[in-house]
Chains A and B, each alone.
Chain A
Amino acid sequence: MNSTESRHTNNWAVLVSTSRFWFNYRHMANVLSMYRTVKRLGIPDSQIILMLSDDVACNPRNAFPGFVYNNADRQLELYGDNIEVDYRGYEVTVENFIRLLTDRWPDEQPKSKRLLTDENSNIFIYMTGHGGDEFLKFQDSEEISSYDIADAFEQMHEKKRYNEIFFMIDTCQANTMYSKFYSPNILAVGSSDLHESSYSHHSDTEIGVAVIDRFTYFSLEFLENLEKDSKLTLQDLVDSYTFEKIHSNAGVRKDLFQRDLSQVLITDFFGNVQQTVVDNVEDDLLYLTNYDERGNLRNFTSEETPRVAPKRDAKLVNQKNHMISFASQKSSGISSSTLGSVAVAIGSLLALAKFFKI
């Protein structure tokens, strides 16, 4: 395998905010900002799983009903423009998150709420909320541990459900959350070390609460300058994290990751490659399954026949490639149309012979 170039063919993003209540506005803003970014860089909504633990946009305390901002300048509105939340409010639970990763669902779970990745998928996982040493709190009622996520990743690895994972977490003592991972091809970054808090960036006086966290703010500051064809690498992103900016020690774990970060394009995780195949079309497949050698319809009932062309010109079949000459191993020899017409001629002769009972 080429170790410098990613061999993924599709991109997925799982974006999770885990805390409830109005004063955690910034966690919703964090995750919505990431949602906006991955969408801007080309991951379609069908490949983004957005878990939004509270609905701050419609909170009665919101001075700007229906809007969510991640900056006091309120230049960028995160909520209004075509948003698809997959898990909302109390649906954001540890169990649902583990089920999402391992894809163990009851039959009735809709496809849009599942992580339908395969061995060619690169997955970006972003989590934010309140955490501690090796745990992250969900909904003020339960918590997920670093072991749980590590085991879920191992199950994904075992079932070949990813090519590479980029795990990013913004919470207090975030770096402990990836300490227990053991499956290959996972790159993780966190906002703060053990016994370190992660801080919010600034508050909006009219909204009345902090609107974004520092680590996410500076990640976004970097990502915002990115275009779909950017050649910036993850090393550039990691280098942009400094203690002066974030006020905590952002961490990177790359021992599980095979590639050198300076070779990994950011768009390997934040964009979406979808290589289309243009003009690779061959002729006559439909014809060949519906007509026989003499140009007559097959497998049609008498009612259906009048609705389609009962006979089509046999010349429509491009037989050039079916005749293989051994001299050159290339198409040549009898021209296709001759063969076709010979066949038709023999056919009609036979039919005539039958008709006249010769």
Chain B
Amino acid sequence: MGLIAGNEVLTRRRILLSILAICAFVGLPLWYATTTVQRAELPVAEIYGLSSELVSSSRFEIPVYVQMPVTTTGALQEAQQQIDDMLKARNLPVSWRIVLEAGSGTESDYKVHLFLDQDADKVYVSPFEDRTIKLYVSPTVIKHNKVAELIARTLVEDVFGDEITMFERLHQPEAVVKMPYSPDYHVTLSLLQGGVQPIGWDIESSALLLKNYLSSLAPYANFTFDSQVEHYEKLSENIALQYDEDKKQYLLKESDTSTFIDYSEWGLDQNTQKVPVVNFLAYVPAPDQRPIQIENSVSNSFIVPQWGGVAIVNTEKQFLEYGDLLPVMEIFASQLFQLVGAPGNPKSPTIRTDILTRFQSVANTRKSIDNLISLCKLCEQLPNISVPDSTREQVEQALKRVREAADAVVSRRWSLANALAAKAYVLSDKAFFQKDMVQQMYFPEEHKMAVYTPLLGPFATIMVLGVLRMLKEARESSVSEKNAAPETAHSVL
């Protein structure tokens, strides 16, 4: 009897211990592995470091070539000195300076040409692509050695004045009109008419001009475009047009322009494009509502911030020729410039695109770093959020691009710098908005009880009772061993 009981105890003990071992060595690690949140290590120190050295790492040096008559040599160094002093007083948040160089420069360089003029001192900043500044200097100025001052003032105030102001406002919120930055945009040109008669436009020819215009903005961002014609897009009933008997026209109040576009009824689908869409509408009113004149508007147009522009075209024609469309396209071009946040001066679109590109490269760098810092803070704050490896990779790549962009700035390749900074921005955004980083739901303690009790309760009860029994048996057997040691030895025999 004792023999069988002893074996039984031993077997039971073995079973119990092996189950406990499985629990400890397989179950626990498995539970731990499946319930811990995956958190990749982010290069936090590097991100904070980069944020503090942003100013020193992006060093802008804008070369300007000056062609001087022989009589005014020496003025170059003086002008450089004056420019440096003027910029120092502005205390820009980035390191930004103009570097004067003697020589004629190439097509893509900024060039200052000095001319002698008998009358007054004047500046002509070429509005064309040649980046040329013509400085007409009177003999009095030369006599008083004021040429250097004139050059310095021209460059700091007239040519790059807006750029300096933009950098000064780097930390302020962006203009309301400006579309949020994206490396790619899509431009949709729509001809909308309120009436029903057939209508068309020679968009193919006009688009050629627009195509060149959009590609001139390529250093800032890439633009693709398409066009559409929509009929029977009536004005919403909320818009009260007032008929002006004298001028024989309908007046659209300025306050009504904000509700002019009927987003729900007009065929302005924005969801087919993955990239942000810039909309331009040429609206031809229905015959019984023509002509419409917008209050306080000479060009009869308005901009909808962060969305696009509208121009009213009062025409009876059934086909809008190239010549009819040119003024409309000019309006759209001007509206687009404002929608991307281009500076207002100087007139030359080329120089303004340069300025915009340089500014945007810094803005994008800053935004990337801000995104990464937000990500770090978030991970610190929410211990339950998972950080997948892909996030870490994107963060590392974004950091790499930020550094490359800073290098490109130093080597004076502004559009490359902006392209790299834009990539960094997109990557940092992707890292932040990683789809697997959805915060684990919060579980109150009662919920955890409710999950684990039915799962582990019955099993744990048996195991605990088994352990208790084992302990009890162990104690009993040790007591009986002491009392009847020889007997047991005998029975084994």
Contact = CB atoms under 8 A, between A and B. Distances in A.
Nearest to A278: B302
A221 B121 CA distance: 69
B331 A289 contact: no
Interface stretch (A54-62, A123-131, A299-307, A350-358): A299-307
Interface in A152-167: 152, 154-155, 158-160
B383 to A, nearest CB: 11
B141 to A, nearest CB: 9
Given A154-B381, A322-B124, A46 B349 contact: no
Contacts of A345: none
A42 interface: yes
Given A307-B204, A309-B322, A326 B120 contact: yes
B346 interface: yes
B180 A118 contact: yes
A9 B347 contact: no
Contacts of B322: 307-309
Contacts of B271: 110-112
A104 B434 contact: yes
Contacts of A292: 128-129
A54 to B, nearest CB: 23
A95 B435 CA distance: 11
Given A104-B433, A317-B127, A283 B122 contact: no
Interface in B298-326: 298-306, 322-323, 326
A158 B378 contact: yes
A98 B153 CA distance: 55
Contact of B263 (A46, A304, A308): A46
Interface string B165-176: 000000001001
B371 interface: yes
Given A45-B264, A119-B173, A147-B442, A288 B433 contact: no
Interface string B49-72: 000000000000000000000000
Contacts of B257: 276, 278
A205 interface: no
Interface string A312-355: 00000101011111110000011000010000000000000000
B433 A105 contact: yes
A103 B335 CA distance: 30
A82 interface: yes
* Max chain A C-beta neighbours (<10 A), residue from B130, B150, B333, B381: B333
Given A279-B298, A289-B216, A290-B209, A104 B437 contact: yes
Interface in A115-144: 118-120, 134, 144
Contacts of A299: 212
A75 interface: no
B390 interface: no
B85 interface: no
Nearest to A325: B122
B374 interface: yes
B81 interface: no
Contact of A325 (B121, B213, B260): B121
A253 to B, nearest CB: 19
B296 A322 contact: no
Contacts of B73: none
A154 B378 CA distance: 8
Contact of A155 (B126, B326, B378): B378
Interface in A246-295: 274-293
A290 B330 CA distance: 12
Contacts of B208: 300, 304, 307-308
Contact of A285 (B177, B334, B374): B334
B130 A105 contact: no
B472 interface: no
B377 A158 contact: yes
Given A159-B374, A292-B128, A148 B298 contact: no
B438 interface: yes
Interface in A63-112: 82, 84, 94-95, 98-99, 102-106, 110-112
Contact of A282 (B334, B371, B381): B334
B382 interface: yes
B301 A326 contact: no
B439 A94 contact: no
A293 B126 contact: yes
A95 B347 contact: no
Interface string B249-262: 00000100111100
B212 A277 contact: no
A151 interface: yes
A279 B299 contact: yes
B158 A275 contact: no
A166 B57 CA distance: 41
Interface string B325-357: 010011101110110000000111110000000
B2 to A, nearest CB: 58
Contacts of B209: 286, 290, 308
A208 interface: no
A152 B301 contact: no
Given A104-B434, A304-B208, A281 B126 contact: no
Interface string B134-159: 00000000000000001001000010
B113 to A, nearest CB: 14
Interface string A19-58: 0000000000000000000000010111000000000000
B123 A281 contact: no
B322 to A, nearest CB: 7
* Max chain B C-beta neighbours (<10 A), residue from A94, A155, A289, A298: A289
Contacts of B259: 42, 274
A148 B213 contact: no
Contact of B439 (A9, A134, A155, A333): A155
A16 to B, nearest CB: 16
B225 to A, nearest CB: 14
B439 A98 contact: yes
* Max chain A C-beta neighbours (<10 A), residue from B121, B439, B444: B439
A326 B444 contact: no
B302 A286 contact: no
A164 to B, nearest CB: 15
7 closest A-B pairs (Cβ-Cβ)?
A279-B297, A147-B442, A277-B303, A326-B121, A286-B333, A285-B333, A307-B205
Interface of A: 9-10, 42, 44-46, 82, 84, 94-95, 98-99, 102-106, 110-112, 118-120, 134, 144-145, 147-148, 151-152, 154-155, 158-160, 274-293, 298-300, 304, 307-309, 317, 319, 321-327, 333-334, 339
7 contacts: A46-B270, A105-B433, A151-B439, A277-B302, A278-B296, A286-B329, A307-B208
Given A289-B349, A291-B128, 4 more contacts: A274-B258, A278-B301, A279-B299, A288-B127
